[in-house]
Amino acid sequence: MSGRLVICPTPIGNLEDVTLRVLAALREADVVACEDTRRTRVLLDRYGVKARLVSYHEHNERQRTGELVSQMRDGAVVALVSDAGMPLISDPGLLLVQASVAAGLAIEVLPGPSAALAALVASALPAERWRFEGFLPRKRSELIAAFGSPETVVAFESPRRLARTLAALAELDPTRPVAVCRELTKVHEEVVRGTAAQLAARYAQSPPRGEVALVIGGAGDGSEGDLGSAVEAVRRLVAAGARARPAASVVAELTGTSANAIYRALKADSAPG
């Protein structure tokens, strides 16, 4: 079989989340390129996978890319993994993929765990259109620009900086809906939802521990369109059996729209003509 590159996502916390296809690819690979050979070895030992590991990280990727492309040209199968999740997504690997494409080598991408997707779904915020920011910028002007996205924003954040980030968002838009997703798939997994102001106050008093994925509702302009979307969401919940006022409160918390405004609009729509 000709040489190729196989991109292998790895668990973001729970080792049982590895897929059968990924394990098969790791067993069949001639070499596994990984960020930290010690962390990858823990996963491989769990499933009895014997593989030759080489380090591939931000400090050696330029040199290592040339070596790996040369091996693939000679027929080797290289599996690329990161410490957790999908390689290239806030992790090394782009240079190797680009070099493989330039060399005319086949690239196979396997599906698997993703902290960004898990956080997006767990947030209960709109997922039709969303934007991944990677690690949030430290410069205030760039941070504010990220907050201005009209789509739902998913980002990684340091637990040490989370309270500051939420405080900055609360200054701009205290009612913006936010979800803080911590330690996803691990024993102490926690998802906390609320407004920017609520969560800024919470984490100012009690900084979180572990890895954090932050999900921020899109920047709205308070227009009738935003209210209409919120009312429609409540209408669907009521049709599914929820009571109108509690449903309006939940949607208000998630969208930053006034619960009273939603409830009044809902009652007005249902009033006899």
Tens-digit pLDDT profile for residues 199-253: 999 999 999 999 999 999 998 744 444 667 778 888 888 988 889 888 888 888 7
Domain definitions of the chain by residue range: 4-109, 115-216, 224-270
d(CA 237, CA 232): 9
Q: Is the pLDDT of residue 159 over 90?
A: yes
**29: closest CA among 64, 71, 66, 60?**
71
Higher pLDDT, 264 or 212: 212
CATH architecture assigned to 115-216: 2-Layer Sandwich (3.30)
Q: Is the per-residue pLDDT at 114 higher than 50?
A: yes
User: Does the domain at residues 4-109 carry the CATH identifier 3.40.50.720?
Assistant: no
pTM, entire model? 0.77
Query: Sheet of 190-195: strands edge to edge?
Result: 130-135, 152-157, 212-216, 177-182, 190-195
Amino acid at 95: L
Residue 184 contacts by C-beta under 8 Å, 6 or more apart in sequence? 12, 13, 115, 118, 119, 122, 211, 213
Helix (H) or strand (E) holding 107: strand 106-109
Q: How far is CA 196 from the centre of its chain?
A: 19
The answer to which of 129-143, 176-190, 201-215, 219-233 has the lowest mean pLDDT is 219-233
Q: What are residue 178's phi and psi, to 5 degrees?
A: -140, 150
